[in-house]
Amino acid sequence: MPASWLSLSAEVTDALAAGRPVVALESTLIAHGLPWPANLETALEAEAAVRAGGAVPATVAVWNGTPTVGLSGEQLAHLARAAGVLKASRRDLGAAVGLSRLAATTVSATMALAHAAGVRVFATGGIGGAHRPERGARNSERGTEEQSDSALGTRYSVLGTSDFDISADLAELARTPVLVVCAGAKSILHLPRTLEILETLGVPVLGYRTAEFPAFYVASGGGPASCRVESAEEAAAVFGAHVRLGGGGAVLAQPCPAEVAVPADEFDGWLATAEREAKAGGATGAKLTPFLLARLAELSGGRTLAANRALVVANARLAAEVAVALPLSEPEA
């Protein structure tokens, strides 16, 4: 049964009561991830992709203090143009509710609210992870050396000033039994380190028809996936077994559509510029990712924006297929 403090749309309520598949969708993409009107267009395309796959879409947000699973079309349109929308991770849900805020939910917050509603599959663009240390940073006191991330052609220090800038998404994946369908972790992150943390936390990373962890809208991979699956049915089987064995969440990652994926060397040049500008402008914390994504869209002439939109819709479509393949209830271990 959904938690009593949640507000569910009538469509989502009916679907859950009837045992029909539901796919959660985040709202940070709408309020903070994409510019108008691409944000609303992408949100509507993602919902349409879920419906086409045989599931019910449930975009998640905190609506003026009420955790809401299943926004209406009017609410989506309002969120896409509203000013001062709080970007809420799991940590911020209490503040959003207690202060009656309009809040867009990140991956971690969306997972938490989806689970409270009884929704087991969630589609997004890319998960958060470990941020990259500053370029060229060295820790002379500890004598650390630089290591190469060959997947993206960039060098990072082993220890640096942003070593502890790690997304709440990773901890949420460890404890909340929701399958997150994505295109890997955002390309602005340190992907090998993100994978190491997920392994430490016991989070399976399933590659959808790939043995590599995708790198969001970058063409090359970000490291090895822990398991390769060839179909939505295999993904559902692995996730179901993981939960029955006492596990939390899992990642199902598919590569960005090849026709819009960005070459790694071009992306790294744009990112270097965006990072310098972020540092000069003091963009840190929750403001850093939106700043970098917006500048990357500008520097790439819209190519990263096109890739982002395409992968969000593709992930929504795959999430619907997995939700359909999951059994109505998990059998006892």
Cβ-in-10-Å burial (0-12, 13-18, 19+) of 226 comes to middle
* Contact residues for 70 (Cβ-Cβ < 8 A; gap 6+): 8, 9, 11, 12, 57, 58, 59, 60
Name the active-site residue from 47, 87, 172, 186: 186
Q: How many residues does the chain have?
A: 333
Name the active-site residue from 26, 47, 172, 275: 26
Q: How distant is the alpha carbon of residue 189 from its chain centre?
A: 12
| Antiparallel, parallel or unpaired: β 154-157 and 146-149 | antiparallel
Residue 2 has phi, psi (to 5 degrees) of: -60, 150
What gap in Å lies between CA 159 and CA 133, rounded to an integer? Answer: 7
- Cis status of the peptide bond prior to 37, with omega within 30 of 0: yes
Alpha helices in the chain (DSSP H): 10-18, 28, 38-52, 73-81, 93-98, 107-117, 168-175, 191-200, 232-244, 264-281, 288-299, 303-325
What gap in Å lies between CA 96 and CA 297, rounded to an integer? Answer: 29
Q: CA dihedral in degrees (9, 63, 89, 275; nearest 10)?
A: 110
Contact 131, 288 (CB under 8 A): yes
Contact 316, 49 (CB under 8 A): yes
298 is catalytic: no
186 is catalytic: yes
As annotated, the active-site residues are 26, 186
